[in-house]
Amino acid sequence: MRHHPTRSMLLASAVALAITACATTTSPTGRTQVVGGVSQQQLDQMGDQAIAEMKTQKAQTSDARQRAYATCVTNALVRELPAAWQQRYRWDTAVFVDNTPNAFALPGGHVGLYTGIFTVARNQDQLAGVISHEIGHVIANHHNERITRQLGAQGALQVAGALLGSRYGQGVGDAAMQGGSVLAQAGFLLPNSRTQEAEADVVGQQLMARAGFDPRASVGLWENMIKASGGNRSPQWLSTHPDPQSRLAEMNQRAAALMPEYERARADGKRPNCG
């Protein structure tokens, strides 16, 4: 049986380079993060590939009003991002036909919603609570942090395969991933850690208040999600969030503190009217 030392060395080198390139940085809430397992360019490419793959797997809604509504909320939030994040991406929004109350955002500037989210996000402020939380994951570098952590774990070669596939050709990527997909191997749509989820709550509520969306709506959204779960395990979108009651208390406290910022935004003319 013939071996392929060049391919093996390439994979090993990719992992080694990724791990040695890691660095610490500070998240928007002041938490120390280990990132750098992938470059921003590679991360954006993976996000582009993941959303493209998603669009081949799931139908997008034909409801023009839903698309316009979701895009309007996304755009209002994006306008309040730091300049670097506004300039880096041309943010887009896709709405997929699926009754699951789910949402995500990806590096590359992609926001995705399932039609089921509209059953729990019942007004524009609650929808802003969903989308701002997901954008919070992107601007807090949670995807980079997650992949960097994966590179040091048992499945490192699989993650490296996703990177190598886009950089060195599909053949190398397929060999490393053994038929896996970017969605599965990079974990873009998998639940994040509780620390990351709690941090995205903080970033999201701050963002929605600056955009003129009521930060108190996140509490109502969470209550709707709990009801939708029927008291059983939380829906997929919230599967790794902190304890529901603790989270509600934290959101209520944060919303109260953010009300002056919300009121300033409204006074400055930031009054989204998305429907």
User: Among all residues, which ones are annotated catalytic?
Assistant: 134
Residues paired with 23 in a beta bridge: 35
Q: How many Å apart are CA 95 and CA 240, to the nearest integer?
A: 23
Contacts (Cβ under 8 Å, ≥6 apart) of 106: 47, 50, 51, 112, 138, 143, 188
In three-state secondary structure terms, 123 is coil
| DSSP conformation class of 22 | -
Tokens 């997909």 correspond to what residue? Answer: 181
Strands, E assignment, the chain: 23-26, 32-35, 92-96, 103-106, 110-114
Burial class (CB in 10 A: 0-12, 13-18, 19+), 179: exposed
Contacts (Cβ under 8 Å, ≥6 apart) of 230: none
What tokens were used for 52? 């493209």
End-to-end CA distance of the chain: 64
- Within a 10 A sphere around the Cβ of 190, how many other Cβ atoms? 13
Q: How many Å apart are CA 13 and CA 15, to the nearest integer?
A: 5
